[in-house]
Each structure stands twice: as C-alpha cells, then as structure tokens.
Amino acid sequence: MEQSRALPTEVDLSRPSAARVYDYFLGGAHNFEIDRQLAEQIAAMTPNLADTMRAGRAFLRRAVAELTRLGVDQFLDIGSGIPTVGNVHEVAQAINPEARIVYVDIDPVAVAHSRSILEDNPRTAVVQADVRDPAYIIAEAKKTGLVDFSRPVGVLLAGVVHFVPDDDDPERLMAVLRDAVAPGSYLVISHSTYEDQPQEMLDAQKLSARTATEITLRSKAAVTAFFGDWELLEPGVVHMPLWRPDSPDDVDDNPARFGAFGGVGRKPT
Ligand code: SAM
C-alpha cells in the first residue's frame, strides 16, 4: 500500500508505525516502505520475531474462543491492530454469532481498515482511542450500544500495554478498566518481556523506539500485577504458547523464545 488520497489524514509517514510494522510481519498489505525497512531490520536481528507475532495472534484466538465458550458474548479489544486473518469477531462469532465486539486502536490506518472491513457486520464497531485514556474508551464503547457494562465483558489487551511507558502509569489505567466492568468479566493480556531473552532480542526491541510507540519490556510479576485481585485462569501468566495450547504441536521446544507472557483473569463475583 502506498500513500493515496484515500488515507486517513493523520497518518504520519515520517516514522514507522507499530501497527503497520506488525501488519507487515503478519503478511498484511497495510504498510509503507518506512515500516517495511524497520521490520526488515528487526527481522534480520531476530529471525524469531515473525513467529512471535504469530504466536501472539494464536494466544489471542485461543483466549477469545475459550471466553466465548465460557459464555462471554461482548468484547472490548483494545490495541486491536490492523485487521488480519482470525480477527476477534471471526473467532467469537464462529462460536456465538450474537457475539459483539468493539475494536479500539490509536492508529488511524488500523482504525480506517477496521471500519472498511467491518462495514457489513452490525455486531462490531471501531473506536479510535488511546489505551492511556480508559475512561474515554469505556464512554465511547457505551455509545456504540454494543457493550452492556452491567454484564460480563471480555477486555482484550493483546500486545498493547507494553506500549505504555511506566511514566504513563499503566497500573492506573488497568485499575480503571478493571473497575469499569461487571463481576464475571475477563481480562486477556499478552505483554513482551525481558525475562529469559537473548541479548539480540533485547537489542531489537530497542529499535521500537523509532516508532511513535516505544516498547517497555516487563517482568512476569509486573504483568501478573495488571490483573489486580482477579482470579487467574489456569495455567496463570505463562509464555504465550503454554497458555492452553490446542495441541502439543503448538508448544515450541523453547516457548520463552517468543518473548511475551500471556494470561487470562476473571473478576471475582
Ligand atoms: N491486539 C492485536 C494482536 O494481538 O494481534 C494487535 C497487536 S499490535 C502488536 C499493537 C497494537 O496496539 C497496534 O495496532 C498499535 O497501533 C496499538 N497501540 C499502540 N499504542 C497504543 C495506545 N496507546 N492506545 C491504543 N492502541 C495502541
């Protein structure tokens, strides 16, 4: 995809964008030369990274399928990204066609493409917002009429909280989200880590500083703390492939190489 007049006006083409770099790694078409250059540079340093991103999508798919089977029929997907194969609405609505999803992303390309592919899906909506403003996200999600906050909601934060630096107080924003939802709601988090990582992976993460959204790697303890006092579903916060794999083949010989933890928590009733 190259610059065209159809693009949303706020697209910044002077810097790579995390959403477009991610799209490139997943084989999507919604990226620009500046994104591809950064992606290739990161890929040359860490050949594992495309696998990491696919493992992240696979974790999200398994978590959404599990929550839908547990009866969750409304989702708030924050940092949803540029639509790609196996989107949350596809996974959830394949199990429950009535499931409703509000997608939220800060990136104008992600938002514009999400809107265009979801035009014909009345049980989805797209909001452009910053995860650092959770009160605004909740208010906008309410306005869509798709999420009833008096009932359990699946709040998805897949690969997004690591874009919130410590200075922006991620603990506070997580607390606001946890407080806004009804008992019986679930929180799905995946988050990059420095634990058990080779130095080249850590060096590649530093390149994210060139995007508008730099990554902050965190420990397992810090990721676990984002769930507050919620009950963690088995097996807890683990390297992503270890979270309820569909088959033993899903579990890599070295699940730590994916460089991110995943977990699902439930708000006590
Ligand atoms: N959740 C998807 C998944 O797991 O496949 C996409 C993850 S992608 C690595 C991260 C997404 O978070 C990007 O689309 C990026 O635009 C979005 N993002 C980064 N910072 C954000 C912020 N402050 N508020 C909302 N979204 C943000």
Q: How far is the CA of 254 from the centre of ligand 1 (A)?
A: 25
66 is in which domain, residue-wise? 49-266
* 263 and 235 Cβ atoms separated by less than 8 Å: no
Quick one: which H or E segment has residue 74?
strand 74-78
Q: Is 23 in the pocket of ligand 1 (CB under 6 A)?
A: no
CA dist 127 and 103 (Å) reads 6
* 57 and 255 Cβ atoms separated by less than 8 Å: no
CATH number, position 118: 3.40.50.150
**Residue 65 DSSP SS3:** helix
**Residue 215 DSSP SS3:** coil
pLDDT of residue 95: 98
Residue 42 lies in a domain: no
pLDDT of residue 71: 98
> Atom 7 of ligand 1 has which residue's CA nearest to it?
159
Residue 174 lies in a domain: yes
Residue 23 lies in a domain: no
Q: What is the pLDDT along the chain (269 residues), one digit of tens a residue?
A: 434 434 555 778 888 888 888 888 888 888 899 999 988 888 777 767 778 888 999 999 999 999 999 999 999 999 999 877 689 999 999 999 999 999 999 999 889 989 988 999 999 999 999 999 999 999 999 999 999 999 999 999 999 999 999 999 999 999 999 999 999 999 999 999 999 887 877 777 777 666 666 789 999 999 999 999 999 999 999 999 999 999 887 787 788 888 899 999 999 99
Q: How far is the CA of 139 from the centre of ligand 1 (A)?
A: 19
Contacts of 103 (CB under 8 A, 6+ apart): 77, 80, 88, 114, 118, 124, 125, 126, 127
Ramachandran assignment for 236, one of left (phi > 0), alpha (psi -120 to 50 degrees), beta (any other): left
**Residue 246 DSSP SS3:** coil
Q: How far is the CA of 255 from the centre of ligand 1 (A)?
A: 22
Burial class of residue 145 (count of CB atoms within 10 Å of its CB; 0-12, 13-18, 19+) = exposed
- Count other Cβ atoms within 10 Å, centred on residue 171: 12
Split into its structural domains, the chain has a count of 1
Residue 105 lies in a domain: yes
Residue 75 lies in a domain: yes
Residue 27 lies in a domain: no
**Residue 231 DSSP SS3:** strand
Residue 261 lies in a domain: yes
pLDDT of residue 5: 38
Q: Which two tokens stand for residue 55?
A: 């493992």
